[in-house]
Structure 1
Amino acid sequence: MPQAEQTAILNTTLQCSNCGATLHFAPGTHQLQCTYCGAANEIASTDNSPIVSFDYQTFIDNNNGHVNQQTEKVVSCKNCGAATTLPPEVNSDNCVFCTSPLVLSDIENKQLVKPHYVLPFLVPQQQASESFRKWLSKLWFAPSDLSKMVTSDARQFKGVYIPHWSYDANTTTDYEGRRGDYYYTTETYTETVDGKEVTRTREVRHTSWSYASGTVMNSFNDVLVSASNSLPQKVANRLEPWRMEALVHYNEQYVSGFRSELYQIKPEEGLEEAKTRMDPTIRDTICGDIGGDEQTISNYDVTYHDLALKYLLLPAWISAYKYNNKLYHFTINACTGEVVGERPYSAVKITLTVIAALLLIIILIYCFKQ
C-alpha cells in the first residue's frame, strides 16, 4: 500500500467517530479515548497471527536494505541525543530523558524500521503517580521531609515507548574445568581446659580435585536488551519483568498520544549485550554438569545458533522531581508499576544508624566477656 494511502487511513482511524477530534490510546484498554468529548473508540485488531521471533540474519539483511519501514516525524534532543516521535498536537516539549527543551522547528521526516510488536500501556497516568508516591515513602535512609517536599502531579509523567531488542538463541558450549569433591578425615588435637591438656578429635574437610570436561546446551527465549542509550541497560534490567504475554502486533493506534524513542543501539550491538546476559546461565549449566561439591571453569567456548529476534516497543512513564534544588530522574514500568529511579540520602540517618550499630557491637562484646 502506498505511504500516502497508509497515512490517510491512519488519520481516519485516529479521529473520533463521535466528534472528529484527536484520539489517544487509553492505557489498560484496547480503546482510543477522545481528548475532547471522552468517547471511546475500539481498536480493531488487524493481525491475529501468533507472536513469533524472526531470523536474526534475515532481519539484519532486510534492515540494511531498508525493508519494512515507515515514515515518522522525529525530533532529536540537542543535549542527550535521544530521538523521539511526538504526538501531533504537541507544540512545545522537553526531552523526557534529560528535561532539556526540544527545538520543534528541527523536526525531520525519517524512514524508520517498523517495530514487530508493541506492549501497550497497562498502567494509567494517575496509577503511575500513586506507584511513585508509594516508592518514595518506602525509601530507606531518605530525608524525613522527602515525601512532603516532592509533588507528583500525574500530568508531569510522560509516556514513552522504549525500543528493545528481544533475542532467542540456542547455545552449545564446550568446556574444561575441575570438579571438587569433599571428603573428611579425623584429626587429633589438644587444648587446655581448666589448666589441663585435653586430647580431642574433630572432622576436617578436604577437597579432592579432578579434571572435568564436556558439552552443555542451553535454550534462551526473550533475552531483552534496551536499544536506547537514554535508558541504560542496568536501569532497563531493574524494570523487568515485562508482561510479554500482552504483546500485540505493532499498530500505530497503540502509540497514539505517546512518544516513541528511536533505537540507538543496533541489533548487532544488542546481540553482544544479550550474550553477556546469557553468560551466567551458561556458566551455571556448566557447573551443574561438572557436579561435585565445588567447580572451577578453566575455559569454555560458546556456539550460538538458531538466532532470532523481535523489535519491540515497551511502555514507560518517565519524569523527574526536585529536592534541595537537585533533579532526580525516575522511570516506571507501565505494565507492572515497578519504579526505578534516583533518590537523595539523609546523611544524618546514615550516621545515626552507623553509631547505633557500633554501640550494639560494643554491648554484645561486653556481654560476651562477662
Structure 2
Amino acid sequence: MSESALPPPLPDNHDITVGKHPCAACGGDMLWDARRQLLRCPYCGQQAAWAPAAAPLPGQDGIAELDLEQALASAGSQRGWGEARREVRCQSCQAVSVFEGHRVAQRCEFCGSPAIIDHQASEDAITPGSLLPFQHDQAQVRDLLRRWYASRRFAPGSLRRAALTDTLHGIYLPYWTFDAQVDARWSAQAGHYYYVPVTVRGANGTTSTRMERRVRWVPASGRLQHFFDDLAQCASSGVHTNLLQQIEPYPFKQLRPYSSEYVRGWTVERYQLDLRSAARQAAERMQQQTRQRCAAQVPGDTHRNLQMQAHYSGRTFKHVLVPVWLVTYRYGRKSYQVAVNGYTGVVAGERPYSVWKILGAVLAVLAVLGLLWLLLR
C-alpha cells in the first residue's frame, strides 16, 4: 500500500462511507485529507478548501448538548440518517458499518472476517451531531507504527512484516458523551489516628514499649457540588476495549459540528451501545465517582459508614464520532489489533511474544550471573 496522504481509492467491493463531493477537474469523488485538512481528489490531486457552514445549533462552536430525558422519552428529531444508507454486520466481531446504498463489503474493516451480512438499518438511529476529524494521515500513522513495533521487546522477528501489510484502516468510532450537575449530601464517621504507648513482654521475660495506633471516630457530614463534563462512553464493538482505553482521552473540546465532508473516504461504525444503555452505564460511573469525591471530603485519616444522597440535574448528551486508525493482523492462530488515536497519535496494541527470544534472554542473564559467581569466588 503506498504511503500517500490519503487512503487510496477503494473499489466497489470495499467499505466506503456515504455521500459524494465531485471533483471539479475530473468528476471523481473527493475525500477528506487528514494531513491537509481539506478535500482532495485521489485521482487527479485536485484540492478544495472546505469549511463547514455556520450550523444552526446553540453555542458559539455549533455543538449542541441534547436533553437526555427528552431523548429517552421520545423519538426526537435527531434520529434517522436522513438519506439512503446501508448497514452491514460482521458475524465475527458484531461491528456494524454504515455505507452508501450501492456499496457492498467483502471483509470486516475491524477483524478482517469475510462473514459479512446485511443488517436492518434502524429507522430511529440517532445521527452523530459532532466529530473529531482525522489529524494524522496514513503515512504519518505508518511511521508511528514502525516506531511502536521497533520498541516491542521479545516480539517475533517477522512481526513487523506480518503487521504492516495492507491492513491499516481509518475508522470513525461512535461515542456518547454525557453532562450532568450533581448535588450530593453525605454523612460518615471520620476516623482520626492517634498513638498510645503499649508495654509488650517478650518470650524471655523482658519488657519493651511500643506505640500502638488507635482510631478516634467522630461524626462528619458535608455537601458536594460537581459538574460532569463530557463523560465519555464508547459505543463501538469492533475495537478491543482495552486498546481504546489506552489511546484515550479524546479532546472533546475540539469537536466540530458533524458534516459528511469530514467522513468522505473513511469507514463509519454504527453505535452498538444504544443511548439508554450508555446513559445507564454513564449514570453508574457518575455515581461511583461522586461517592469517591464525597469520600475525599471526609476529614481525618480514614472513614466508615459513608452515606450519600445524590441528585443529578441538567443531564445532556452528545453522539460523536472519533477517529481511529486500526491494524488487524493474524500471527499464528490468533488475531491481534493495534489502534492509533487518529487525532492525538497515541498508539496502543496487542502483539505476540517470541518464546525463543525470551528463552535467549533468560539464558543470557544466567550466563552473566554464572560469570559473576566465578569471578567472585
Please report the TM-score for the alignment, with normalisation by the length of structure 2: 0.79
Q: 1:284 to 1:355 in 2, by over 3 A?
A: farther
Residue 291 of structure 1 is matched in structure 2 by 299
5+ residue gaps, structure 1: 1-9, 364-370
Q: Deviations over 1:94-146 (max 9, x none)?
A: 11222112658x47776443211011011111222222232223335x33525
1:116 partnered with 2:166: no
Partner Cα distance (1:354, 1:299) in 2:
56
Contact 1:177-1:297 within 8 A present in 2 as well: yes
Q: Return the letter of the residue paired with 1:134.
A: R
Q: 1:356 to 1:279 in 2, by over 3 A?
A: farther
Q: Return the letter of the residue paired with 1:336.
A: T
Residue 162 of structure 2 is matched in structure 1 by 150
1:57 partnered with 2:65: no
Q: Return the letter of the residue paired with 2:128.
A: P
Partner Cα distance (2:116, 2:212) in 1:
72
Partner Cα distance (1:188, 1:354) in 2:
53
Residue 25 of structure 1 is matched in structure 2 by 32
Structure 1, 240-249 or 47-56: larger mean CA deviation: 47-56
1:333 partnered with 2:341: yes
Partner Cα distance (2:288, 2:356) in 1:
39
Residue 49 of structure 2 is matched in structure 1 by 42
Structure 1, 127-136 or 251-260: larger mean CA deviation: 127-136
Residue 171 of structure 1 is matched in structure 2 by 182
Residue 366 of structure 1 is matched in structure 2 by none
Q: Return the letter of the residue paired with 2:246.
A: R
Contact 2:196-2:212 within 8 A present in 1 as well: yes
Contact 1:26-1:33 within 8 A present in 2 as well: yes
1:74 partnered with 2:87: yes
1:184 partnered with 2:188: no
Q: 1:220 to 1:210 in 2, by over 3 A?
A: same
Partner Cα distance (1:150, 1:184) in 2:
62
Out of 133, 139, 146, the position equivalent to 2:152 is: 139
Partner Cα distance (1:28, 1:60) in 2:
38
5+ residue gaps, structure 2: 1-17, 373-377
Q: 1:63 to 1:161 in 2, by over 3 A?
A: farther
Q: Deviations over 1:272-297 (max 9, x none)?
A: 22123334431331122211111234
1:344 partnered with 2:356: no
Contact 2:93-2:237 within 8 A present in 1 as well: no
The structural deviation recorded for 1:25 is 0.5
Q: Deviations over 1:190-221 (max 9, x none)?
A: 669xxx98765443322222333443222100
**SS at 1:70 equivalent:** coil
Partner Cα distance (1:58, 1:354) in 2:
65
The structural deviation recorded for 1:331 is 2.0
Out of 11, 23, 27, the position equivalent to 1:16 is: 23
The structural deviation recorded for 1:58 is 2.5
Q: 1:170 to 1:93 in 2, by over 3 A?
A: same
Partner Cα distance (1:354, 1:182) in 2:
50
Residue 278 of structure 1 is matched in structure 2 by 286
RMSD, aligned CA = 3.4
**SS at 1:44 equivalent:** coil
**SS at 1:229 equivalent:** coil
Structure 1, 108-117 or 307-316: larger mean CA deviation: 108-117
Q: 1:282 to 1:42 in 2, by over 3 A?
A: same
Q: 1:254 to 1:74 in 2, by over 3 A?
A: same
Please report the TM-score for the alignment, with normalisation by the length of structure 1: 0.80
The structural deviation recorded for 1:229 is 2.8
- Provide the aligned length of Structure 1 versus Structure 2: 344
**Structure holding more helix per residue:** 1
Partner Cα distance (1:202, 1:356) in 2:
44
